[in-house]
């Protein structure tokens, strides 16, 4: 039984190739059923996101044959010829496979290190595989330990602490200015994707009062309804700024829509209450001079990007700490796995010895004539106790050696000495 990973990711394949192996959650049972045709697979799990598609498998028999058959099964299932995945697929086995699964679950192999969604996606794929009964003792233990590792990485490092997207950085800065965002009012100028993402983060942080102004009022209404907000007419946005705490501007206007003198008048009417302006338009919507007005905090997309870059560097430093955690946990799993390898030998030896004990006991009892049930039980118990004492030290040593690299040698020698291979043929 050998563990392996076969897959591709954003590091090895462009999006048009990744899309060809993408499988939505509702279709995962069918994908697992297709992989079930591979006789060389004892256990299997299929995992896909927009950035990766991977099979976690346990080979029954030669590893190379299992990997080849798994790849061919994927190609048949997705109606691909071999050239479609040429150069894109990678394979990991043994400790390398364990390390890869732990890194994926901990978001160290993601396009954005530390992003939280990947762990939930791994858990979903695992839940589906377990419900389809395609995992066993090895994959079950691997995935359960992967979740434990991911939790350790989250709690023992700051890998997810620093925001690394424009929209999340905007919210992080807003928190620094206002503290708790609950109860704050946000005004959206324009209805682009970036503004929508920032708005989504703000809502997650407790913002409930949302105003949307856009030249296309229908689009403003649609975005406002999505977040239970209110659409306002574009021409009145300056008036609406009187009650807003945060303004996110992302229009497609070819010129500035808010000048310094406009904001000076607004701040005066607001009685100098602070206002946070996020200009993520290109070209810019808000006059850079607005930042000179007291109690105005203006950030444009370049300001936000510089914070993103600094935070990414911080995450990279934390990732190094996470890698050390993963290395230790890989060792823990490998120790468990090597211990598992001697279990068949122990079972076979006990079965063989028990077979001999039973046969010899029956011969002896037949020669003893009439014995009471109690006497027969005493003799049977004595033979069982003798066998257990004889086997205790070899079994103990075999388990102890199993966690070392040469553990398989001890298992092979024991099987040869007791003729277990011949017995199993």
Model confidence pLDDT, tens digit, residues 206-260: 888 999 999 999 999 999 999 999 999 999 999 999 999 999 998 988 899 999 9
The answer to whether residue 155 sits within a structural domain is yes
Q: From the candidates 15, 50, 84, 417, which is the catalytic residue?
A: 50
Q: Look at residue 325 and tell me if it is in a domain.
A: no
pLDDT, position 295: 95
Same domain flag for 122 and 202: no
φ, ψ for residue 261 (rounded to 5)? Answer: -65, -30
Same domain, 145 and 230: no
Show the tokens assigned to 222.
Answer: 């649609």
Which residue among 101, 134, 161 closes a domain? 161
Sign of CA dihedral 258, 219, 240, 279: negative
182 in the same domain as 73: no
The whole domain housing 384 covers 340-424
Mean pLDDT of 85-104: 95
Residues 173 and 301 reside in one and the same domain = yes
* Same domain for 418 and 270: no
On the question of pLDDT at 34 being above 60, the answer is: yes
Statement: residue 425 has pLDDT above 80 = no
177 with 238, same domain? yes
Q: Where are the beta strands (DSSP E) in 166-236?
A: 185-189, 209-213, 230-232
Specify whether 157 is located in the same domain as 170: no
User: Residue 327 domain-assigned?
Assistant: no
Whether 154 and 10 share a structural domain = yes
* Stronger pLDDT, 342 or 54, i.e. the higher one: 54
pLDDT tens digit sequence for 352-396 = 888 889 999 999 988 888 889 899 999 999 999 998 888 888 777
Mean pLDDT to the nearest integer, 7-35? 91
Sequence-separated (6 or more) residues with CB below 8 Å from residue 337? 3, 138
User: Residue holding tokens 């799990």?
Assistant: 45
Burial of 421 (0-12, 13-18, 19+ CB in 10 A): exposed
Examine the domain organization and report whether 12 and 148 are in the same domain.
Answer: yes
Residue 315 lies in a domain: no
- End position of a domain, from candidates 116, 132, 161: 161
In a domain, 335, yes or no: no
189 and 216 housed in the same domain: yes
Decide: 19 and 51 in contact? Cβ < 8 Å: no
For residues 142 and 68, what is the distance between their CA atoms, to the nearest angstrom?
22
Is residue 290 annotated as part of the catalytic site, yes or no?
Answer: no
Tally of domains in the chain: 3
Give mean pLDDT, residues 181-191: 91
Q: Provide the residue count of the chain.
A: 425
- The CATH number assigned to the domain holding 143 equals 3.30.460.30
């Amino acid at each position: 039984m050998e563990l392996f990973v076969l897959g591709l990711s954003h590091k090895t394949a462009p999006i048009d190739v990744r899309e060809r192996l993408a499988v939505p959650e509702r279709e995962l049972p069918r994908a697992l059923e297709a992989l079930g045709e591979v006789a060389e697979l004892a256990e299997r799990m299929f995992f896909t996101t927009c950035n990766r598609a991977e099979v976690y498998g346990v080979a029954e028999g030669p590893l190379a044959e299992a990997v080849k058959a798994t790849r061919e099964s994927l190609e048949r299932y997705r109606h691909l010829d071999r050239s479609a995945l040429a150069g894109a697929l990678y394979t990991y086995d043994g400790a390398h496979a364990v390390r890869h699964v732990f890194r994926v679950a901990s978001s160290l192999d993601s396009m954005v290190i530390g992003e939280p969604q990947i762990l939930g996606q791994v858990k979903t794929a695992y839940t589906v595989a377990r419900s389809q009964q395609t995992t066993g003792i090895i994959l079950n233990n691997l995935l359960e330990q992967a979740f434990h590792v991911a939790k350790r990485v989250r709690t023992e490092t700051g890998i997810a602490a620093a925001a690394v997207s424009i929209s999340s950085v905007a919210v992080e800065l807003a928190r620094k200015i206002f503290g708790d965002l609950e109860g704050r009012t946000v005004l959206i100028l324009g209805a682009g994707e970036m503004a929508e993402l920032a708005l989504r983060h703000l809502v997650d942080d407790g913002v409930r009062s949302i105003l949307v102004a856009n030249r296309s009022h229908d689009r403003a209404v649609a975005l406002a309804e999505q977040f239970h907000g209110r659409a306002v007419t574009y021409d009145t946005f300056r008036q609406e700024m009187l009650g807003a705490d945060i303004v996110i501007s992302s229009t497609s206007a070819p010129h500035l829509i808010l000048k310094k003198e406009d904001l000076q008048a607004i701040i005066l009417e607001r009685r100098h209450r602070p206002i946070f302006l996020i200009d993520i338009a290109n070209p810019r919507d808000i006059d850079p001079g607005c930042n000179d007005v007291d109690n105005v905090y203006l950030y444009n997309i370049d300001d936000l990007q510089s914070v993103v870059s600094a935070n990414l560097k911080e995450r990279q430093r934390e990732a190094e700490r996470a890698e050390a955690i993963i290395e230790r946990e890989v060792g823990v799993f490998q120790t468990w796995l090597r211990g598992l390898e001697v279990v068949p030998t122990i079972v076979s030896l006990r079965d063989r010895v028990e077979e001999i004990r039973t046969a010899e006991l029956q011969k002896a009892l037949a020669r003893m004539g009439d014995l009471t049930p109690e006497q027969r039980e005493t003799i049977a118990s004595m033979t069982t106790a003798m066998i257990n004492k004889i086997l205790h030290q070899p079994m103990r040593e075999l388990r102890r050696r199993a966690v070392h690299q040469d553990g398989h040698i001890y298992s092979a020698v024991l099987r040869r000495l007791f003729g277990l291979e011949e017995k199993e043929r």
